[in-house]
Amino acid sequence: MELFKKPNIDFIGLRWVPIGCSVVVLTLSLASMALKGFNYSIEFTGGTLLQISFPPDSKVQVDGVRKALESEDLKTEIQSVEGGRPTFILREQATDDAAATAFANKALESLKKAFPSLEPTLDRKDVIGPVVGKDLRTRTVWAIVLSLFGILVYVAYRFENPIWSLAGVVALFHDVIGVSGLFSFLGLQMDLLIVTALLTIAGYSISDTIVVFDRMREKLRTDRTHDLRTLIDSSINETLSRTIITVLTVQIVSLTILFFGGPVLHNFALAMVVGNLLGTYSSIAVAAPLVYEYQLRFGGKRSQHAPAAETATGVKEGRRRR
């Protein structure tokens, strides 16, 4: 299946437009992360999580729960959970058992007072201490760093040139920072589910990049009649339909979750939608052009012609024949 019949887009000629846009995205994202920071969930900061439910036939809404709690000076984060009966998750910064118990009792009393004909029940109470939250935050950072390092090593080994690997990881960094910056700017909650989304985005993004790099490597080894710019452009154009079809299959699922998955999965789906768009964009318009730019500036004269396969892939054909 092909969406485009022999596209001929000059990606390399236009490379500075997407690269410039990427620089803007990274700058704004890093600025937001530095100035505003993140709205961390209690998994990272420590706190108390309560899950309170009402009878199935009740019509309790989030606004009603919020008003009931605020009437007793309980200003807490409230999240509705879709299911067979009205269920709500309350988050508070209380980090010890005594404070958590007091918060749970006061919340239940407030709801019983506001809804006397109903009987709210406490289904779940989790308390995460500040030390555990800090440890989880540290582990999360290490998980992302080690994932990117693993991808760096894998791509460098597969394509026998660290420049290709660095270009792929720069594209991944662009995607992860872009989504993180969006969450920071909008003040959306950063929790373990979003970290999962970021790592998933990195996986999809490097998969698209490797497809483009594979076609580039194949052409550089076999085509001795065209220059490097033409070969990279044709590689991106030939894999364009495959790349877009792949991301569309993921986007259909992500958009379905975004609009119909409920509030619990909303932020995860938003991260996937934006991340997949950035990942596809970076694979096409950032990673491959960065390889070309390096070869143009540091690859020597051979980087301008088809024999540049030796320079671009780091593998000498003579050595392969031996």
pLDDT tens-digit series, residues 246-295 = 888 889 999 999 888 777 788 999 999 999 999 889 888 888 888 888 88
On the question of pLDDT at 316 being above 70, the answer is: no
Strand 39-40 with 189-190, pairing: parallel
Q: Return the pLDDT at 95.
A: 66
Q: Is residue 310 included in any domain, yes or no? A: yes
Alpha carbon distance 256, 272 (integer Å):
11
Q: Return the pLDDT at 320.
A: 41
Q: Is residue 313 included in any domain, yes or no? A: yes
Q: Is 221 exposed, middle or buried (0-12, 13-18, 19+ CB in 10 A)?
A: middle
* Three-class SS state of 311: helix
Alpha carbon distance 134, 138 (integer Å):
6
The residue segments making up the domain with residue 113 are 47-127
With cut-offs at 50, 70 and 90, classify the pLDDT of residue 299: low
Same domain, 193 and 296: yes
On the question of pLDDT at 100 being above 50, the answer is: yes
Q: Is residue 1 included in any domain, yes or no? A: no
Instruction: Taking the CA atoms of 151, 155, 157 and 163 in sequence, report the sign of the dihedral they define.
Output: negative
* Three-class SS state of 91: strand
* Final residue of a structural domain among 96, 127, 158: 127
In one-letter notation, the amino acid at residue 122 is L
Across the beta sheet with 121-128, the strand order is 77-81, 87-92, 47-53, 121-128
Alpha carbon distance 127, 96 (integer Å):
7
Q: Return the pLDDT at 240.
A: 87
pTM over 0.85, yes/no: no
On the question of pLDDT at 7 being above 90, the answer is: no
Rounded mean pLDDT, 181-209: 89
Domain count, the chain: 2
Q: Return the pLDDT at 4.
A: 62
